Structure 1
């Protein structure tokens, strides 16, 4: 899996100053919502954390009681040679830096008094984790392609941007219908896509090469026998220095999935249309009493908008004297399975209307209660 800033990053910050670790944790998590920071106030605690649940990155002070940051790094490296490790220390010197580099530190950053240091640290953490995840992907690419092909109609490919040559895995060739001996160029590969999708495919490859970022797309693929298939494609650039010479990717045949989704959507539309023809108020509540679904009649009778109903608790739709009754009815339905109750519905303009409500417990496939469903007449 290629790293992006959209992925959550778990950070372990080790420093024997608990006030500083908590301060840094707060700043980092506010600066970057993708960062989740755990803290340890000594190296023993830090080593235990790394052993129990290795983080995506370790940030450590240097000058600590007992084991210093370099010794801590060396110990971590024994079992985790590639784990990103940033030395974040107030004691900066060429000697410390050279020792850290020799011990395999990923990055070295001196503490400062300003809040800008946390933004810099957050960036260094993300850079270190992205580099590590990217390296893992490159080394595992061949294995991952084989594994994904075993999972179903999935293929892999590699494009040499300088020559335009394309390498295809066996799964790709099977899906497209290309013999093993047939070699194709990038433009020839793009021609296998639907004419209306080809420009987007080409631009997505260019974007991956120019930005160095992983890109994705969903397009229509035309096989050699004229069949049209829907594929989800992920394109990942492989950089050499500052240049992207190769892009690698994988795609999954989602044709059957698309067909199932279209069928479900069609059935969903039929259900929604049927519910909207009811002359009664239809509703679905979550277990906390908030509204999950309703029909058009519910909007007409209450006078609320879609957005307002989505943000309201069911008890707020009733006259004040009936709210406790409704609250009890909801709890009874969730526990016992069914209830019938009469109450005054309170509309958005303050009008009260008497209704009889019949509610039934709603469960998932495993029998877990997920809410309740009901009709108001």
Structure 2
């Protein structure tokens, strides 16, 4: 023992104090002895300083050794106390040991002094060991980790309460049992191998390894074991000690992170993450889709700013919008003309969003996530649609001017000839001209309604349906509305859609002169228009929306084609089916609804 030992020796005989100090100095490696002749003075010294051990005589004036011990214990219950007296007797020894003194010796020659020195050293070692154990025990209890001790025979010698809670067994069930109570055969074998490694001369002092603990009930619990051997001298191995840490939450978190990582790697869009704390906000992660889309490998992309994808024809306004969004720490989305590694251009829809250090919207931005979507095919279709719309506008102009004008002239001439001659054949010519004019009008409508709806607005479904009903020659047809709420649409084109569906139901729904009843109702993602007429044969439902298809003589067959064009322009889908009464039912789906319902209805 090399640490210094501070001893307080109380004896009313100064010569005994001097002799004892001399022997303690000789027998103990490092000792400091404070001698006092009065017990009261001894108590004062104990109150003013710290001592590792107290030696006291028994027979002293004013206060005997046991009274001194009891007074000492009122303030300090831990310091070792050795009664060293010249007035020894079995009665005093019995009283001293019953009182709880650490040791009892009668004064004598060198042999007794050597025994006293040995007992002082042992008492201090035991006291310090106990204090350290108490401190460590307090720390372990505060940490709440499961702790175990296995003796040299491989039997549990100690487990704490957290260990019992982890396994589901009472401590009494565990202590005295073997580790196979809570481990399978493979886990027991691995622990033995690990212990053997610690015991070897070249092995580590501590082994850390994963182990599944099998509780009394339930599934195995993934843990991490920190194992070491108990201190021992020579070759007498006394057992091992370990601390378990439940890593089930950690394992679940690791699995969740791995799932997210795979999701990022395998996402169908390019994903990048940048670190604004580094110079020039470089990319620190790119996924597989980004690599495939741009042609740049990870080693080329990670560590640089993503502007390397820009080129001579990249729109500077879009780049500025992204830069300003980053400065404002706000999300943004733009369409950029970027360039692959081989130089080929592609249209990239880039969306960025800040990653904050916590869920608070005001938290510091620790990164940026970017989503890249190759929209080259979409841009080509968009350009083709633009050219198509231009041709439709040209066609509409031709129809409106170059065809309608001579048609009006022909109609006027036929009307004059009919008035002058009264020829009945001219009636058929008038009907034919009316039909041509109807075809022209509906052709123009198709051209107009096919244009994409770019800025839909919230409209009241029931209100628009009711307005449309009032503009149609409804004859004696019945009308019911079972719809509520709003949807996003072009209100004028939505009215035209309803008008065409209402006319179609009135023209085709009457049976034996009985007027048809039409109902407008809600769908989960749209609406429907249904009637109680004869219905639509299933074999013709798919062809109803083609221009010129009609079941009525003299009808142009453009009504349902216009309905489909209006739906397509909104991004909706329309289909014909049967109503609950067996009549016709037209369902419009894929309809978006506003986040809030307007209160102006």
**What TM-score do you get using the length of structure 1 for normalisation?**
0.50
SS in 1 for 2:172: coil
C-alpha deviation, 1:157, in angstroms: 1.5
Q: 1:333 to 1:206 in 2, by over 3 A?
A: farther
Separation of aligned partners in 2, 1:192 and 1:373: 45
Residue 334 in structure 1 maps to residue 330 in structure 2: no
Instruction: Say whether the 8 Å CA contact 1:334–1:369 is kept in structure 2.
Output: no
Point out the structure with max Rg over C-alpha. Answer: 2
1:78-127 Cα offsets, whole Å, 9 max, x none, are: xxxxxxxxxxxxxxxxxxxxxxxxxxxxxxxxxxxxxxxxxxxxxxxxxx
The answer to whether the 8 Å contact 2:206/2:226 transfers is: yes
Q: Are positions 1:306 and 2:298 aligned together? A: yes
What is the aligned partner in structure 2 of residue 180 from structure 1?
Answer: 171
Tell me the distance in 2 between the aligned counterparts of 1:261 and 1:157.
27
3-state DSSP of counterpart to 1:181? helix
Alpha-carbon contact 2:159-2:175 (below 8 Å) kept: no
Q: How far did 1:311 drift? A: 3.7
* Count of residue pairs the alignment pairs up: 236
Closer/same/farther in 2, CA of residues 318 and 143 from structure 1, 3 Å limit: farther
In the other structure, the counterpart of 1:223 is: 215
Structure 1 or 2: larger strand share?
1
2:370 paired residue number: 374
1:358 to partner: Cα distance: 3.1
Indicate if the aligned counterparts of 1:236 and 1:249 stay in contact, CA closer than 8 A: yes
Shift of 1:341: 5.1
Question: Shift in Å at residue 250 of structure 1?
Answer: 0.7
- CA deviation profile, 1:284-320 (whole Å, cap 9, x unmatched): 2221322233343211112123343334432334348
Greater RCO between the two (CA within 8 Å, min separation 6)?
Answer: 1
Contact between 2:160 and 2:171, CA under 8 Å: does it hold in 1?
no
SS in 2 for 1:223: coil
In 2: Cα distance, 1:215 partner to 1:318 partner: 53
- Provide structure 2 residue ranges, at least 5 long, that are not aligned to the other structure: 1-127, 374-601
Give, in angstroms, the shift of residue 354 of structure 1. 4.5
- 1:200 and 2:190 equivalent? yes
The aligned residue for residue 276 of structure 1 is 267
Mapped to 1, the partners of 2:230 and 2:184 lie a distance apart of 27
CA deviations 1:114-154 (Å, max 9, x no partner) are: xxxxxxxxxxxxxxxxxxxxxx99975554444444545x3
Structure 1 segment 46-85 matched on structure 2, within 5 A? none
Does the C-alpha gap of structure 1 residues 306 and 196 become closer, same or farther in structure 2, counting only changes over 3 Å? farther
Counterparts of 2:211 and 2:226 in 1: how far apart (Å)? 11
- CA spacing shift, 1:285–1:270, aligned 2, 3 Å: same
Partner of residue 23, structure 2: none
Q: Is the 8 A contact 2:148 2:156 kept in 1?
A: no
- SS of match in other structure, 1:157: strand
Offset from partner CA, 1:234-261 (integer Å, 9 cap, x none): 1133444676644322112233443454
Q: Is the 8 A contact 2:183 2:214 kept in 1?
A: yes
Aligned to 1:255, which of 248, 255, 266? 248
> Aligned partners of 2:313 and 2:231: how far apart in 1?
68
TM-score normalised according to structure 2 size = 0.33
- Deviation at 1:156? 0.6
Matches within 5 A, 1:1-377: 140=132, 142-152=134-144, 154-161=145-152, 166-182=157-173, 184=175, 188-210=178-200, 211-225=203-217, 227-240=219-232, 245-263=238-256, 265-266=258-259, 268=260, 271-272=263-264, 276-278=267-269, 281-287=270-276, 288=278, 289-319=281-311, 331-336=323-328, 337-340=330-333, 343-365=336-358, 366=360, 367-377=363-373
2:53 matched residue in structure 1: none
Take 2:257 and 2:348, find their aligned partners in 1: how far apart are those partners? 33
Residue 146 of structure 2 aligns to a residue in which SS? strand
Tell whether the 8 Å contact from 2:155 to 2:176 is kept in structure 1 after alignment. yes
| Structure-2 change in CA distance of 1:193 and 1:162 (3 Å) | closer
Q: Distance in 2 between matches of 1:360 and 1:225?
A: 46
